[in-house]
Amino acid sequence: MGKSNSMQITKKNLLYNFIFRASANKKIRTYYHLLEPLFHSMSDNNMFLNLGYDDLNGKPISSIVDTQKRMVEIVTSEFIKEGIWLDAGSGTGAPACYLSSTHPGINIEGINIVKSQIEKANDLAIRKNCIDRVKFNYGNAQNIPFSDNYFENIYAIESAFHFEDKIKFINESKRVLKPHGQISIADIVVRPEFLKLRDWYKVSIAKHGLATKEFYDKDKWISLLRSTGFDGIYFKDITVNVSNVLPHWISLINSNQEKLLGLYPKIFLTMLCKCLEYAYEMKEKSPFGYLLITATKTK
């Protein structure tokens, strides 16, 4: 079972508490307790927790961190680079700290329900010398702890699929956004056009494994944003851009087995690699996809 049992998720926790009995908040905390060390190990402790984005320009991927930064850039590319932004589900702080270093005209408030990550994120902001413009606090994206019309922009990178009530998240986002403010979401979604009846168990496993109550699809996200009062809705399916990074993850996992076996049982690493291989092989025909969607708050 590996070298350091204190760091590992036990069968009871993973299969019993996590899957069958845990609250949504506990599932999310367990998810990040399980995967956060792997993300950080594979990205040289740069504190990013997203998979990454490949421009598909034919150039080889030089590092996971480069693709993770590229995802952050893509998600926020349409934002006016000034004012106060909200990072909804801010992880261990890397996206907000990176954005603050590239755009000095912005301030970012990060909210998160995983308290250990908030501490790490604030430590990162101190190390990156941006603590005066980037702050992380406990907060639920379904009940955003800020006043009306507070933010110029909101982004959520690989966090919205965790939110138990996405309707509340979008309503709250509209409330705290200023008129003409923008929201941008990079989210794992289901793709009904590629979802067959025999795939029901894959969806069920994915829900438990990724700590989500419901995966939205493109149409559901668009319908929700439109009905809530957003317009200028733009979406892009970036499944291939993300899946193209996965072989690099697999290679890193395989080449760092000795280090990772101190954190994870061998069977977990094997199963994780098989899941990543499946997503890469299916690419544009995968029943699970990755969507980038942006929208603007009306007056």
Domains and their CATH numbers in the chain: 5-297 (3.40.50.150)
pLDDT for the residue 11: 45
Predicted pLDDT at 171: 97
Identify the pLDDT of residue 6.
Answer: 39
The rounded distance, in Å, linking the Cα atoms of 268 and 263 is 10
Helix axis angle, 166-176 relative to 218-228, nearest 10°? 40
Q: Which amino acid does the sequence have at 94?
A: A
The per-residue pLDDT for 22 is 61
pTM: 0.90
Strand partners, 230: 297
| Longest alpha-carbon distance in the chain | 57
Helix, coil or strand: residue 99: helix
Rounded (5°) CA angle 103-68-154: 50
Measured CA to CA, the distance from residue 269 to residue 5 in angstroms comes to 15
Dist CA 232 CA 195 (whole Å): 28
| Contact present, 85 and 114 (Cβ < 8 Å) | no
State residue 175 phi and psi, 5-degree precision: -60, -45
pLDDT of 36: 87
pLDDT in tens, 42-83: 888 899 999 999 999 988 888 999 999 999 999 999 999 999
Q: Interior CA angle at 71 toward 245 and 48, to 5°?
A: 85
Cβ within 8 Å of residue 113, ≥6 positions away = 25, 28, 29, 138, 139, 140
Report whether 59 contacts 115 (CB < 8 A).
Answer: no
Which residues of the chain fall short of a pLDDT of 70? 1-23
The phi and psi torsions of 192 (rounded to 5 degrees) equal -55, -30
Residue 16 to residue 73: CA distance in whole angstroms: 38
Give yes or no for a contact between 36 and 117, defined as CB atoms under 8 angstroms apart. Answer: yes
